[in-house]
Amino acid sequence: MTAPDVYADYIKVLIDAEMTRKSSLEQRGAGMVTTSGTLVTLLFALVGVITAAKDFSLPVEAHGYLGAAVILFTIAVAIGVSANLPFIYKEAYPTAAQLVQVWDYTEPEAQAHIIATRLKVLSSARRANGLKGLLVLIAGIVQLTALIMLTVAVLMIVGVKS
């Protein structure tokens, strides 16, 4: 195997790893949506059960925390969904006209052309995955903040001093 073959194969492995990373990030983004949706549902159920009790009055101090939790969970869902949007990933789609232009390349020239194309694909995947990763991280931080707000509100509701 020649050095250009080794480089071409190595870059292909890197591209495959980025595509696996893309799938993983999209699954995490979808997980944010599921988790936040479940927690908002539980929040509404909790408030419904607690406020249905006779002579119960939801502490005024808890209102802001509950409202913040709902808003933050909604934001986490929106960010999680955005991590699953179809970002632009460059792909190699050689056309007949492009192949005609490179058809007479020598083997080393053809290998260099393939490697250059794969490097463009790899660079694009890394950029898009970096953005997806940032979105998943932000969604996780927002979701954690919402969970803290919810915890504080629940503690206020059940009468524990914060």
pLDDT in tens, 80-129: 999 888 777 788 778 888 888 888 888 888 889 889 999 999 999 999 99
Query: pTM for the complete prediction?
Result: 0.79
What are the CA-CA distances from residue 151 to residues 3, 89, 98 (Å)?
Answer: 58, 40, 60
Determine how many CB atoms are found less than 10 A away from the CB of residue 53. 8
Rounded-to-integer distance, Cα 84 and Cα 74, Å: 16
For position 3, what pLDDT does the model report?
82
The amino acid that residue 150 corresponds to is L
Rounded-to-integer distance, Cα 28 and Cα 76, Å: 12
For position 129, what pLDDT does the model report?
93
Confidence class for position 160, pLDDT limits 50, 70, 90? low
Confidence class for position 162, pLDDT limits 50, 70, 90? very low
- Does the pLDDT at position 142 exceed 80? yes
For position 91, what pLDDT does the model report?
82
Query: Of all helices (H) and strands (E), which one includes residue 16?
Result: helix 3-52
- Does the pLDDT at position 38 exceed 70? yes
Q: Give Cβ neighbours of residue 65 (< 8 Å, ≥ 6 apart).
A: 149, 150, 152, 153, 156
For position 36, what pLDDT does the model report?
85
